[in-house]
Amino acid sequence: MKVGDHMASYEMDKKNLIKVGNEIITLKKLFEVIPVSVVLINRKGEHILDSKVLLDINNSEPHALVRHKVAELSKEDANIIERDFGLFDQNKTVPAHDLAINNKTYKVVVAPLRNDSGYAFAELAVLTDITENKNTEHRLAKLNEQLKQLASRDGLTQLLNWYSYNDICNKMIGLARRENTSFSVMFIDIDHFKKVNDTYGHAAGDTVLREVADCIVENCRKTDIIGRVGGEEIAVYLPQTDCHDAITLAEKIRIYIEKEKFDAEGTLINITVSIGISNDKPYYQTIADIKKDADAAMYMAKSNGRNRIEHL
């Protein structure tokens, strides 16, 4: 029998006595009063000693877990213990890990108990309640995601803002170049939008702009990149789309908006849009390159009577 196997078999004899001044206590008694969650486990995965705090965590009676294997509660935890002893035998450090118990999260730190020969006959695990820390991390992660969303979106239309739209489109153009696929861009501008603001007020103008943006989103594909790039200007990047398909989609959007009734402070009004289109050309390297032509095509549509589509 190896030195230390007495502990592994949970034989509480005189070797388990600890002298503190004139008082003598047992290791068992020490575990009962220690104010932290601690468990001593042998190589078979059996509980040898448990602190009262640990028993409270598991809603267990005193000694209820002693001599019971961890595998009876969790096969996954049993595998972790088996891994721990494998690392101990290689003189490696066991990484801390998180453990969920009764809707709470605990950080588990373990250390080997070795005999004089260096053989790890048991492991001591200390559990620290980090539930609140984890909840805080989750709240912060959620808040960061919300802030990221706000930073990348236009507050009125919820479309991508100018910066995010440009950034994503430049990456998409790079991808199109690598994969040798086509792309197009639509530049959409609301006709006589200033008149809407002057007649019905800026609140009504905001409502109309938001509803027009919704119409565009509703008619575009999920793969299309849509951004508000100016006051009443909305740009749409169309991946894997040639000139013919881009014009078809633009016409669909133009007709849809023309037939829609928009609420301007309680008054239903008609709105039209002018759309400029430009599709992939060899010298387009960034969204700024293609935007120039799409923008010029849009102004051509306005010059030619509005509520129409032009292509460059």
**pLDDT tens digits, one per residue of 46-63:** 888 888 888 887 776 656
pLDDT band at 181 (very low <50, low <70, confident <90, very high): confident
The strand pairing partners of 263, in sequence order, are: 268
123 and 84 Cβ atoms separated by less than 8 Å: yes
Is the pLDDT at 116 greater than 60? The verdict is yes
* pLDDT, tens only, 189-220: 999 999 999 999 999 999 999 999 999 999 99
Domains of the chain, by residue range, sit at 5-133, 144-311
User: CA-to-CA distance for 149 and 143, rounded, in angstroms?
Assistant: 10
Nearest to 220 by CA among 181, 178, 275: 275
Dihedral, CA atoms, 191, 196, 197, 201, nearest 10 degrees?
A: -160
Is the pLDDT at 8 greater than 50? The verdict is no
Per DSSP, the three-state class of 235 is: strand
Second-level CATH architecture of 144-311: 2-Layer Sandwich (3.30)
- For the chain, the average pLDDT equals 85
Handedness of CA 263, 265, 270, 272 (dihedral sign): negative
- In the set 232, 233, 258, 260, the catalytic residue is 232
Please name the amino acid found at residue 184: S
pLDDT band at 17 (very low <50, low <70, confident <90, very high): low
Is 232 among the residues known to form the active site?
yes
Per DSSP, the three-state class of 291 is: helix
Is the pLDDT at 39 greater than 60? The verdict is yes
pLDDT confidence of residue 5: 43
DSSP per-residue letters across 53-106: HHHHHTT--TTSSBT-BGGGT-HHHHHHHHHHHHHHHTT-PPPPEEEEETTEEE
pLDDT confidence of residue 191: 95
Is the pLDDT at 105 greater than 80? The verdict is yes
pLDDT confidence of residue 11: 44
**Multiple choice CATH, 5-133, 3.30.450.20, 3.40.50.2300, 3.40.350.10, 3.20.20.70:** 3.30.450.20
